Structure 1
Amino acid sequence: MKNTICSAVALMCGLAASAAQAQTAVQIYGIVDSGVAHLTNVNSAGDSITKVPSLTSSFPSRIGFRGTEDLGGGLQAFFVLENGLALDTGTQQQGGRLFGRQANVGIKGAWGTVTIGRQLNMTYISGLKTDVLGPHLFAIGSIDPYLPNARSDNAIGYMGNFGGFVLGATYSFGRDASAAGGPAATNCAGEVAGDSRACRQYTGLVGYETKAWGLNASYDRMNGNVGAAGGLTSSANTDIRKTVNGYVMFGPTKLGGGVVDRETNAATGRTDSDLYYLGVSHPIGAFVVDAQVARRETKNSANDVDMYVARLTYAMSKRTFVYTAVGRMDNKGASAVALDAGGTVGAGLGQNGVMVGLRHHF
């Protein structure tokens, strides 16, 4: 009897150990970031405004859940659920989605990663290492709001790194299911029977990356459908971005830049533009200094824009940072691109801005 009991206890302990090994390791993480910004010429009368931004400060605020499970044989299953929030009011971002920044599940191994769900696409990923300002309030996302919001609903994605050579792609059956408005919600749910092009999107990336330098190119094509924003009101309408960018390290100093060629074939007509950007980032002890210049040239139009931004960040600890930034946006012709993401400016007017903020990671 004693041996039977011991055997049973040993079996139960063994099963418990196996179950523990098979459990998914879950991490809760996030960024809480907010500040105060002052902008000039927010309307045609030349008025100024001081405000707490909604879309972003130095980084968009978020809370996320990330889990992985070791499947053996070099394979891992994983999931990511990431919520974006506006810290000024506590409301949800990305068109009111609960997990609007990411909501996907996947599997990865030595051959790469396959992901299913709402996810970052290759336009977003291609700019990660070359845009030194990132999704800052004053940055190239003010000129092209899609760039820091390049995510796809209903998507299948692949990403692989083979000795520094990077390959990636996403394919979406319906790129944007939210109708709430803005760059992250353009009312193109797709998955329409009888129209395989409706709200389809595919993106691709090829590049080579090392610690010292990197170069990549990406392609992003999205189709429209009835009711979609941006004039893409037919599945025959398209918005295409082709990007080439790179970075190089000079010791701790990073130099990054690129060009985004955009061609929009909308119901209202065709527009072509090129967005150029070049930035530098340099650490000085607990400080980091970033600066960037950018220009958007719209073909066959006088409505060009130029942007100049400088930012200083101080690390109070490994998780807490304070920062300040100054910037200017020069609008030519009838252009009305605000310096601050999601803001306003009088048509043809230049806009100056200054901001201070606090960011904490957990």
Structure 2
Amino acid sequence: MKYLPIAAVACAFAAPAAFCQTTVQIYGVVDTSLSYLTNVDAAGHSATKMNSLTGELPSRIGFRGTEDLGNGLQAFFVLENGLSLDTGMTGQGNRLFGRQAQVGLKGAWGTLTLGRQLNMTYIAPQKADVLGPSLFALGSIDPYLPNARSDNAIGYMGQFGPVVVGATYSLGRDASSAGGPAATNCAGEVAGNAQACRQYTGLIGYETKAWGVTTSYDRMHGNTGAAGGLTSSANTDTRTTLNGYAMLGAVKVGAGVIDRDTKAATGRTESDLYYLGASYPFGAFTVDGQWAKRVTKHADADVTMLAARLTYALSKRTYVYTGVGRMANDGTAAVPLDAGGSVGAGKTQNGFMAGLRHHF
């Protein structure tokens, strides 16, 4: 990580010198992997590929700046770009700073942010979901989870002892029409239609080093042309999560459930996604494992995932890892094991991956 002190000339004429400097941090993750997957199509073919969306963590480069305003108050900004190492292309629907683009204020009362930002559905499971945004993980079953960000948003986060609270409110949740879970063409801010592409999320939790539990709520509205069948502002997609973790010595155990209720132009779909995992560090190694199951109500489309991962730290910044997984699709389900991949409907997919990750 690099820090660049930048002279704030305007501030120098308006405030004491102690407050006339912004510190900018440049940081990032470069991570890519190779994978082998079975049953990538209806004919049952297999494929070997270099992955685009993620390996163990999604690749990124970011800029974070802070300025001390005095009396415990800070101004800050975050500009974070997502990229695909296999091609060098920009991620998150071709946005320049698709992962985060925000400015805010921070004090003892919490953090207030304006701009494109992570919402509470992204934040709530972070400590319970031991695999995170990995190639074989919950994001394969519900791609929104590792892409839960909101455009045009006002956000708040506060921690008061072990109690954490947060919320976001978006005037237009997604300004990109590039497609996929990170870009669903719902820019909002439509005159005469206050619900068009609005989104609100909320979180409350209790977290300590030994254990914690969080719950979150997320409702997004649609509008004309939006993806996912949300082609009217009356259409909604709602997720409610309950997540918990506990430390058993060095072992972290995490579990949760994500309830989803989609009222789209094509009809209503309801499902529950359950997950249970554990993580154990020993020496320079960390082993993670997770079971997950999505139960789709009123349809034969359940899926069950088993995934395990082993990571070895070559240094404090460089890691090698390998993982295996299995995704069993029932009936009409066609959920791939690898994020952004493909699988034949009703088929079971097995996979292996290995990769390299570096932080700077």
Task: State the SS of the aligned residue for 1:95.
Answer: coil
Contact 2:125 2:214 in 1 (8 A): no
| Residue in 1 that maps onto 2:293 | 295
Q: Matches of 2:61 and 2:165 in 1, distance apart?
A: 28
Residue in structure 1 matching 2:81, options 80, 83, 87: 83
Which residue is equivalent to 2:117? 119
SS in 1 for 2:57: coil
For normalisation by structure 2, the TM-score amounts to: 0.96
Which 5+ residue runs of structure 2 have no aligned equivalent?
A: 1-11
Amino acid at match of 2:145: L
Q: Deviations over 1:230-263 (max 9, x none)?
A: 0000000000000001100112210011000000
What SS is found at the alignment partner of 2:229?
Answer: coil
CA distance in 1, matches of 2:55, 2:292: 19
Distance 1:107 1:21 in 2: 15
Which of 141, 144, 150 lines up with 1:143 in the alignment?
141
Amino acid at match of 2:339: A
Aligned residue for 2:155? 157
Aligned-partner residue type, residue 117 of structure 2: Q
**Alpha-carbon separation, structure 1, partners of 2:300 and 2:47:** 27
Equivalent residue for 2:71, pick from 73, 84, 89: 73
The residue aligned with 2:218 is 220
Structure ranking higher in helix proportion: 1
2:132 to 116, 124, 134: 134
Of the three residues 248, 251, 254, the one matched with 1:250 is 248
Q: Given the alignment of the two structures, is residue 108 of structure 1 paired with residue 106 of structure 2, yes or no? A: yes
**Counterpart residue type for residue 309 of structure 1:** A
Alignment of 1:14-25 (within 5 A): 18-19=16-17, 21-25=19-23
The whole-number CA distance in structure 2 between the counterparts of 1:15 and 1:300 is 66
Q: CA–CA distance in 2 between the matches of 1:179 and 1:17?
A: 43
Equivalenced residue count is 349
Displacement of 1:284: 1.1
Cα distance in 2 between the residues matched to 1:188 and 1:214? 34
User: Paired residue for 1:58, among 56, 66, 90?
Assistant: 56
Letter of the aligned partner of 1:172 in structure 2?
A: S
Structure 1: gaps spanning 5 or more residues: 1-13
* CA distance in 2: counterparts of 1:160 and 1:45, whole angstroms: 51
Aligned to 1:319: 317
Residue-by-residue CA offset, 1:109-161 (whole Å, 9 max, x unaligned): 11100000000000000011111000000001000000000000000000000
1:346 partner SS:
coil
Identity within the alignment, %: 73
- Give the C-alpha shift of residue 22 in structure 1: 1.7
Give the structure with higher Rg (CA).
1
1:277 is aligned to 275
Deviation of 1:301 after TM superposition, in Å, equals: 1.1
Helix, strand or coil: the match of 2:124? helix
Deviation at 1:83, TM superposition (A): 0.1
Give the Cα–Cα distance (whole angstroms) in 2 for the partners of residues 38 and 171 of structure 1.
Answer: 40
The separation in 2 between residues aligned to 1:223 and 1:18, in whole angstroms, is: 47
The letter for the 2-side match of 1:301 is A
Q: Please give the per-residue CA displacement for 1:33-56, whole angstroms capped at 9, x wherever unaligned.
A: 001000000001100000001100
In the alignment, the residues of structure 1 paired with residue 19 and residue 181 of structure 2 have an alpha-carbon distance, to the nearest angstrom, of 42
One-letter code of the match for 2:178? A
Shift of 1:16: 12
Q: Distance in 2 between matches of 1:341 and 1:17?
A: 49
* In structure 2, C-alpha distance between the alignment counterparts of 1:235 and 1:290, rounded to whole Å: 41
The letter of the residue matching 2:104 is G
Shift of 1:17: 11
Q: TM-score, normalised by structure 1?
A: 0.95
Q: For residue 86 of structure 1, give the secondary structure of its aligned residue in structure 2.
A: coil
1:65-116 CA distances to partner (integer Å, 9 max, x unpaired)?
0011111101010000000000000000000000000000000111100000
**Partner in structure 1 of residue 346 of structure 2:** 348
1:252-267 paired onto structure 2 within 5 Å: 252-267=250-265
Shift of residue 19 of structure 1? 3.8
CA–CA distance in structure 2, aligned partners of residues 39 and 24 of structure 1: 47
CA distance in 2, matches of 1:251, 1:217: 25
